[in-house]
Amino acid sequence: MMTHDDFNRICWLWIALAVILLPILLRVAQPYGKHAKNGWGPAIKNRIGWFIMELPALLVFGYFLCSATDFFNLPVNIAVILWGLHYVHRELIFPFQIKTSGKKIPLLIVLFAIFFNTVNGFLNGFWLAHFAPEYQPDVFVNARLIAGVVIFLTGFVINKYHDNLLIQLRKNSGRGYHIPEGGLFRLVSCPNFLGEIISWTGFCLVTLSLPAFSFLIWTSVNLVARALDHHKWYLKEFGDYPKNRKAILPYLL
Protein backbone atom coordinates (compact mmCIF):
# COMPACT_ATOMS: atom_id res chain seq x y z
CA MET A 1 0.00 0.00 0.00
CA MET A 2 1.10 3.59 -0.55
CA THR A 3 3.08 5.04 2.35
CA HIS A 4 1.79 8.03 4.26
CA ASP A 5 4.80 10.11 3.15
CA ASP A 6 4.17 9.34 -0.54
CA PHE A 7 0.49 10.12 -0.08
CA ASN A 8 1.32 13.48 1.51
CA ARG A 9 3.63 14.32 -1.41
CA ILE A 10 0.74 13.74 -3.82
CA CYS A 11 -1.46 16.02 -1.70
CA TRP A 12 1.12 18.81 -1.72
CA LEU A 13 1.54 18.50 -5.49
CA TRP A 14 -2.23 18.72 -5.82
CA ILE A 15 -2.28 21.87 -3.69
CA ALA A 16 0.57 23.34 -5.74
CA LEU A 17 -1.42 22.76 -8.92
CA ALA A 18 -4.36 24.73 -7.50
CA VAL A 19 -2.06 27.63 -6.64
CA ILE A 20 -0.53 27.54 -10.13
CA LEU A 21 -3.98 27.63 -11.73
CA LEU A 22 -5.19 30.59 -9.65
CA PRO A 23 -3.68 33.32 -11.90
CA ILE A 24 -5.18 31.60 -14.96
CA LEU A 25 -8.63 31.39 -13.39
CA LEU A 26 -8.40 35.06 -12.42
CA ARG A 27 -7.77 35.99 -16.05
CA VAL A 28 -9.99 33.53 -17.94
CA ALA A 29 -13.64 33.12 -16.95
CA GLN A 30 -14.86 29.54 -17.05
CA PRO A 31 -17.11 29.44 -20.15
CA TYR A 32 -20.46 28.28 -18.80
CA GLY A 33 -23.47 29.88 -17.18
CA LYS A 34 -23.21 33.68 -17.33
CA HIS A 35 -19.87 33.40 -19.10
CA ALA A 36 -20.83 30.90 -21.81
CA LYS A 37 -19.16 31.53 -25.14
CA ASN A 38 -18.37 29.75 -28.38
CA GLY A 39 -14.99 28.30 -29.20
CA TRP A 40 -14.65 25.79 -26.36
CA GLY A 41 -15.57 22.72 -28.36
CA PRO A 42 -18.65 20.48 -28.15
CA ALA A 43 -21.14 21.06 -25.35
CA ILE A 44 -23.77 18.98 -23.59
CA LYS A 45 -26.96 19.85 -21.68
CA ASN A 46 -26.36 21.48 -18.31
CA ARG A 47 -28.26 18.89 -16.26
CA ILE A 48 -26.44 15.99 -17.89
CA GLY A 49 -23.11 17.75 -17.44
CA TRP A 50 -23.70 18.41 -13.73
CA PHE A 51 -24.79 14.80 -13.14
CA ILE A 52 -21.80 13.29 -14.93
CA MET A 53 -19.12 15.53 -13.51
CA GLU A 54 -20.20 15.22 -9.85
CA LEU A 55 -20.63 11.42 -9.94
CA PRO A 56 -16.93 10.48 -9.38
CA ALA A 57 -16.92 12.35 -6.06
CA LEU A 58 -19.46 9.84 -4.78
CA LEU A 59 -18.24 6.71 -6.53
CA VAL A 60 -14.49 7.05 -5.97
CA PHE A 61 -14.88 8.27 -2.39
CA GLY A 62 -17.31 5.45 -1.64
CA TYR A 63 -15.06 2.82 -3.23
CA PHE A 64 -12.17 3.58 -0.88
CA LEU A 65 -14.41 3.86 2.17
CA CYS A 66 -15.60 0.31 1.49
CA SER A 67 -12.04 -0.80 2.27
CA ALA A 68 -11.87 1.12 5.56
CA THR A 69 -10.28 -0.82 8.39
CA ASP A 70 -12.15 0.95 11.20
CA PHE A 71 -15.88 1.38 10.73
CA PHE A 72 -16.32 2.71 14.27
CA ASN A 73 -14.06 5.75 13.97
CA LEU A 74 -16.35 8.66 14.87
CA PRO A 75 -14.52 11.40 12.91
CA VAL A 76 -14.47 9.15 9.83
CA ASN A 77 -18.19 8.44 10.15
CA ILE A 78 -18.98 12.14 10.56
CA ALA A 79 -16.82 13.03 7.54
CA VAL A 80 -18.58 10.39 5.42
CA ILE A 81 -22.00 11.74 6.40
CA LEU A 82 -21.02 15.33 5.60
CA TRP A 83 -19.45 14.33 2.28
CA GLY A 84 -22.55 12.32 1.39
CA LEU A 85 -24.88 15.17 2.38
CA HIS A 86 -23.14 17.56 0.01
CA TYR A 87 -22.64 15.25 -2.94
CA VAL A 88 -25.96 13.40 -2.81
CA HIS A 89 -27.64 16.81 -2.99
CA ARG A 90 -25.25 18.00 -5.71
CA GLU A 91 -25.66 14.79 -7.72
CA LEU A 92 -29.31 13.81 -7.27
CA ILE A 93 -31.18 17.01 -6.37
CA PHE A 94 -29.42 20.15 -7.61
CA PRO A 95 -29.24 19.20 -11.34
CA PHE A 96 -33.02 18.79 -11.39
CA GLN A 97 -33.68 22.06 -9.54
CA ILE A 98 -31.76 24.42 -11.79
CA LYS A 99 -33.74 26.30 -14.43
CA THR A 100 -31.37 25.98 -17.38
CA SER A 101 -33.60 24.74 -20.15
CA GLY A 102 -31.72 24.88 -23.44
CA LYS A 103 -28.40 25.82 -21.84
CA LYS A 104 -25.25 23.80 -22.33
CA ILE A 105 -21.85 23.35 -20.73
CA PRO A 106 -18.66 22.68 -22.71
CA LEU A 107 -17.61 19.04 -22.60
CA LEU A 108 -14.08 20.22 -21.80
CA ILE A 109 -15.31 21.78 -18.54
CA VAL A 110 -17.12 18.55 -17.68
CA LEU A 111 -13.95 16.52 -18.30
CA PHE A 112 -11.90 18.88 -16.10
CA ALA A 113 -14.52 18.52 -13.35
CA ILE A 114 -14.50 14.73 -13.66
CA PHE A 115 -10.72 14.75 -13.27
CA PHE A 116 -10.92 17.03 -10.22
CA ASN A 117 -13.68 15.04 -8.53
CA THR A 118 -11.88 11.75 -9.20
CA VAL A 119 -8.62 12.98 -7.63
CA ASN A 120 -10.42 14.71 -4.78
CA GLY A 121 -12.57 11.66 -4.07
CA PHE A 122 -9.47 9.46 -4.10
CA LEU A 123 -7.42 11.67 -1.78
CA ASN A 124 -10.14 12.14 0.81
CA GLY A 125 -11.56 8.62 0.58
CA PHE A 126 -8.13 6.94 0.73
CA TRP A 127 -7.03 9.03 3.72
CA LEU A 128 -10.21 8.32 5.67
CA ALA A 129 -9.97 4.62 4.86
CA HIS A 130 -6.27 4.09 5.59
CA PHE A 131 -4.64 7.00 7.40
CA ALA A 132 -7.26 8.51 9.71
CA PRO A 133 -6.00 8.31 13.31
CA GLU A 134 -7.90 6.24 15.84
CA TYR A 135 -10.65 8.19 17.57
CA GLN A 136 -9.61 9.37 21.03
CA PRO A 137 -12.72 10.52 22.91
CA ASP A 138 -11.85 13.58 24.95
CA VAL A 139 -13.38 16.99 25.45
CA PHE A 140 -11.07 18.77 23.01
CA VAL A 141 -11.55 16.27 20.18
CA ASN A 142 -15.31 16.26 20.68
CA ALA A 143 -15.43 20.07 20.78
CA ARG A 144 -13.49 20.19 17.50
CA LEU A 145 -15.86 17.69 15.88
CA ILE A 146 -18.93 19.60 17.07
CA ALA A 147 -17.48 22.90 15.83
CA GLY A 148 -16.60 21.32 12.46
CA VAL A 149 -20.10 19.92 11.99
CA VAL A 150 -21.73 23.24 12.97
CA ILE A 151 -19.50 25.15 10.54
CA PHE A 152 -20.15 22.64 7.75
CA LEU A 153 -23.93 22.74 8.24
CA THR A 154 -23.91 26.54 8.47
CA GLY A 155 -22.13 26.73 5.13
CA PHE A 156 -24.44 24.08 3.68
CA VAL A 157 -27.54 26.07 4.66
CA ILE A 158 -26.05 29.32 3.32
CA ASN A 159 -25.18 27.60 0.04
CA LYS A 160 -28.54 25.91 -0.49
CA TYR A 161 -30.62 28.88 0.67
CA HIS A 162 -28.99 31.26 -1.79
CA ASP A 163 -28.99 28.67 -4.58
CA ASN A 164 -32.74 28.45 -4.05
CA LEU A 165 -33.08 32.24 -4.18
CA LEU A 166 -31.36 32.19 -7.57
CA ILE A 167 -33.59 29.34 -8.77
CA GLN A 168 -36.73 31.17 -7.63
CA LEU A 169 -35.50 34.39 -9.25
CA ARG A 170 -35.27 32.65 -12.59
CA LYS A 171 -38.64 30.95 -12.03
CA ASN A 172 -40.46 34.15 -11.06
CA SER A 173 -38.77 36.56 -13.46
CA GLY A 174 -38.65 34.44 -16.58
CA ARG A 175 -35.72 33.82 -18.90
CA GLY A 176 -32.54 35.84 -18.71
CA TYR A 177 -30.55 37.11 -15.77
CA HIS A 178 -31.70 39.46 -13.03
CA ILE A 179 -30.22 41.15 -9.97
CA PRO A 180 -30.48 38.70 -7.05
CA GLU A 181 -31.89 39.99 -3.78
CA GLY A 182 -32.44 38.70 -0.26
CA GLY A 183 -30.29 37.10 2.38
CA LEU A 184 -26.57 37.70 2.03
CA PHE A 185 -27.04 38.98 -1.51
CA ARG A 186 -27.29 42.43 0.08
CA LEU A 187 -23.59 42.08 0.96
CA VAL A 188 -22.03 39.91 -1.74
CA SER A 189 -22.75 38.78 -5.28
CA CYS A 190 -22.09 35.08 -4.59
CA PRO A 191 -23.16 34.05 -1.07
CA ASN A 192 -23.80 30.53 -2.35
CA PHE A 193 -20.08 30.22 -3.13
CA LEU A 194 -19.21 31.64 0.29
CA GLY A 195 -21.41 28.98 1.88
CA GLU A 196 -19.58 26.20 0.08
CA ILE A 197 -16.19 27.52 1.23
CA ILE A 198 -17.51 27.65 4.80
CA SER A 199 -18.74 24.05 4.49
CA TRP A 200 -15.37 22.67 3.46
CA THR A 201 -13.69 24.69 6.21
CA GLY A 202 -15.86 22.76 8.64
CA PHE A 203 -15.02 19.48 6.92
CA CYS A 204 -11.33 20.33 7.23
CA LEU A 205 -11.80 20.90 10.96
CA VAL A 206 -13.57 17.55 11.38
CA THR A 207 -10.81 15.52 9.69
CA LEU A 208 -7.70 17.66 10.29
CA SER A 209 -6.29 16.03 7.18
CA LEU A 210 -4.11 17.21 4.31
CA PRO A 211 -6.61 15.99 1.66
CA ALA A 212 -9.40 18.02 3.29
CA PHE A 213 -7.10 21.05 3.36
CA SER A 214 -6.29 20.51 -0.33
CA PHE A 215 -10.02 20.37 -1.07
CA LEU A 216 -10.52 23.65 0.79
CA ILE A 217 -7.71 25.27 -1.22
CA TRP A 218 -9.14 24.04 -4.53
CA THR A 219 -12.66 25.13 -3.58
CA SER A 220 -11.46 28.58 -2.55
CA VAL A 221 -9.32 29.07 -5.67
CA ASN A 222 -12.13 28.05 -7.99
CA LEU A 223 -15.02 29.83 -6.27
CA VAL A 224 -13.22 33.07 -5.44
CA ALA A 225 -12.12 33.39 -9.07
CA ARG A 226 -15.62 32.59 -10.32
CA ALA A 227 -17.23 34.98 -7.82
CA LEU A 228 -15.00 37.80 -9.05
CA ASP A 229 -16.05 37.00 -12.63
CA HIS A 230 -19.72 37.00 -11.61
CA HIS A 231 -19.33 40.30 -9.77
CA LYS A 232 -17.68 42.00 -12.74
CA TRP A 233 -20.40 40.61 -15.02
CA TYR A 234 -23.20 41.98 -12.77
CA LEU A 235 -21.59 45.42 -12.63
CA LYS A 236 -21.21 45.49 -16.41
CA GLU A 237 -24.66 44.06 -17.17
CA PHE A 238 -26.74 46.14 -14.73
CA GLY A 239 -26.21 49.87 -14.40
CA ASP A 240 -28.20 49.90 -11.15
CA TYR A 241 -26.32 47.01 -9.56
CA PRO A 242 -25.64 47.80 -5.84
CA LYS A 243 -22.16 49.32 -5.66
CA ASN A 244 -21.71 48.40 -1.99
CA ARG A 245 -21.76 44.67 -2.69
CA LYS A 246 -18.53 42.73 -2.71
CA ALA A 247 -17.91 39.59 -4.75
CA ILE A 248 -17.75 36.88 -2.07
CA LEU A 249 -16.43 38.13 1.29
CA PRO A 250 -18.65 40.76 2.96
CA TYR A 251 -16.91 44.18 3.18
CA LEU A 252 -13.59 42.71 1.97
CA LEU A 253 -13.54 41.05 -1.47
**pLDDT tens-place values along the chain, 253 residues long:** 789 999 999 999 999 999 999 999 999 887 777 776 776 778 888 888 888 888 999 999 999 888 766 667 888 999 999 999 999 988 888 777 776 666 788 888 889 999 999 999 999 999 999 998 888 888 888 899 999 999 999 999 999 999 889 888 876 655 667 889 999 999 999 999 999 999 999 999 999 999 999 999 999 999 999 999 999 999 998 989 998 999 999 999 8
Q: Is residue 177 part of a domain?
A: yes
- Dihedral sign, Cα of residue 139, residue 140, residue 142, residue 148: positive
CA 76: distance to chain centroid? 20
Q: Is residue 44 part of a domain?
A: yes
Q: Is residue 244 part of a domain?
A: no
Rounded CA separation 79/207 (Å) = 7
- pLDDT at residue 134 in the model: 85
Contacts 24+ apart (CB under 8 A), 169-173: 170/99, 171/99
Cα–Cα nearest to 118, from 187, 64, 160: 64
Neighbour count for residue 127 (Cβ, 10 Å): 23
Length of the chain: 253
Q: What pTM was computed for the model?
A: 0.91
Cα–Cα nearest to 49, from 36, 32, 68, 34: 32
C-alpha to C-alpha distances, 44 to 38, 55, 111, nearest whole angstrom: 13, 16, 11
Q: Is residue 83 part of a domain?
A: yes
Q: Is residue 251 part of a domain?
A: no
Q: Is residue 9 part of a domain?
A: no
Rounded CA separation 132/118 (Å) = 20
- Count how many domains the chain has: 1
Domain that holds residue 182: 32-237
